[in-house]
Chains A and B, each alone.
Chain A
């Protein structure tokens, strides 16, 4: 599988070149959010806002009212936890074109409880006017700017950084409101988000090899959450639906799926894989994914429980799964 280094860093510079209305605001995390190249390329469109997130959000609202599109960059926790009232009153209520790029979603950081955004989707999903997007690979990150900019209102993005896998073909960009269909199957429907998608792809491949049909969808739009393809996939699952997210099992993808199931009268079991209603702690990503059951092995175990069958898939088998970038547009035609 192709790994891509810091795709946001160069992509933002290229993308913003002929968009003078785009300004970038940094909460003293310019290097950590990959915007140093932007600062260098367009110093007059870069605003150092210091450690003052409440002011940064209000300032962004003011700029947006005057026709600029501020792209806020900091760690997610500092936005939705420290400045929620400002996000609501200064941006969401007036439905302004402000883009919140929240880095370090879930347990992607060893920074511990203070830095891990495990409940951002749950906190922000009830906000009227707010669109919530999530990145799962380099292609998601690269196509996020166009996707976010097309939304006429505020957008919150769970953003990934650093070395990222390319799970989706570059020619297969993220489309707001549409889940990517990665595999087809009628035994289990699997909805995954963020960094969980790579693990889910690994597990789904192994499960398919054992004859378990997995309808796997990668969800990049967490709000609005009304994709007909998701509803259809959930309705067609023989054994039930599994959600897998880098977030608390409360308030995020799992809860959104539960609302959709109940709202459409789809009587299927729902298994929510995620951080099990606990705060996490500082440790490596693989360690935490294993500890909280967010990895491929945990998913296999949940599928086994759901279908009532042991499949004999061990860690070695999962590690041996080779992933290549998929083009879900091709896949859609093939399905």
Chain B
């Protein structure tokens, strides 16, 4: 019995690592195709997203078309559809998942491709005119459901949704992906305070603590640490882990106790999986190649070190 469980766990972890690898591979390929992208965000978040999507989240089948529709208008316009369709139906038993820093959209799109919820070709539409596969995605973009690219604004909205779900008696949970840089926004702490006050134990955040923001290292721009102590003092259950270890990330959720919201502090490297990026550190917010020679080195890296891995079996 124990061994079969171990075998199952190992299998999902292998799959999570493959998905994470392919998120990096797809985003690097896109960066090469378009001459720039939010590559370091994909590097730091790939294992978090892969763990959530392949193991932690209980999502129903996607309701979004594999090939995303063109932009038809803002919410309320005829024909408008929410990007949340790609996370499946809203039902009491299913989890909800929201992305706070939508500068990570490219990593989410790549993850959806890996999950078979989005066609690989959809990624090539990234940041092209008329596409909903937007650079800093809106709530119509695949996998997104809230308007959150202005930092620090998702958790409050997710807390409202979690409150509504709690009142209805839904068993599904609400997960929010946030970055460490946006913890500089005061609204985040208003929301942390409020979720603990209302004992919202159906609400969890995963913090991609990559120590990185537009101007460089977070500790030099505006330090946010110690997050563990701060969030603990705010009344959250905290779990500090290696954000590149799927088993450790999942274990945080397994250890979630009733009565408190959960903050998983996932410490990551913004160059994880693409060592070449270390040359550019700490200026990694938006990777744009300087010249043809640099581009060629990344192209070679993609083919030699980071080719797409096929699904096992």
Contacts and interface: CB of A to CB of B under 8 A. Distances in A.
Given A85-B153, A93-B75, A62 B158 contact: yes
Contacts of A153: 76
B184 interface: no
A129 B76 contact: yes
B162 interface: yes
Nearest to B156: A58
Contacts of B159: 55, 58-59, 62
Contact of B161 (A57, A62, A70, A94): A62
Interface string A202-245: 00000000000000000000000000000000000000000000
Interface in A43-92: 47, 49-50, 52, 54-68, 70, 85-86, 89-90
B45 interface: no
Given A55-B187, A93-B74, A61 B160 contact: yes
A231 to B, nearest CB: 27
B160 A63 contact: yes
B150 A89 contact: yes
B163 A89 contact: no
Nearest to A90: B157
B164 interface: yes
Given A94-B75, A94-B139, A60 B194 contact: no
B156 A55 contact: yes
Contact of A90 (B147, B162, B164, B197): B147
A66 B164 contact: yes
B165 interface: yes
B153 A62 contact: no
A62 B194 contact: no
Interface string B64-81: 000000000011100000
Contact of A86 (B153, B193, B197): B153
B225 interface: no
A8 interface: no
Contacts of A58: 153-157, 159-160, 187, 191
B158 A90 contact: no
B169 interface: no
B122 to A, nearest CB: 23
B190 interface: yes
Q: Classify chain A's interface size.
A: 20 to 34
B313 interface: no
Given A94-B75, A94-B147, A54 B186 contact: yes
A12 B187 CA distance: 29
Contacts of B163: 47, 59, 62-63
Contacts of B148: 89
A66 B147 contact: no
Interface in B176-209: 186-187, 190-191, 193-194, 197
Contact of B194 (A52, A64, A65): A52
Given A49-B194, A59-B194, A66-B161, A89 B147 contact: yes
A127 to B, nearest CB: 12
B164 A62 contact: yes
A102 to B, nearest CB: 19
A55 B194 contact: yes
Nearest to B191: A55
A95 interface: yes
A50 B193 contact: yes
A273 B238 CA distance: 57
A61 B160 CA distance: 7
B165 A66 contact: yes
Question: Lowest 6 CB-CB distances: which A-B pairs, in order?
Answer: A62-B160, A58-B156, A66-B164, A55-B190, A52-B190, A59-B160
Given A63-B160, A65-B161, A90-B153, 7 more contacts: A62-B162, A64-B160, A65-B157, A65-B160, A70-B160, A89-B150, A90-B147
Interface of A: 47, 49-50, 52, 54-68, 70, 85-86, 89-90, 93-95, 128-129, 153
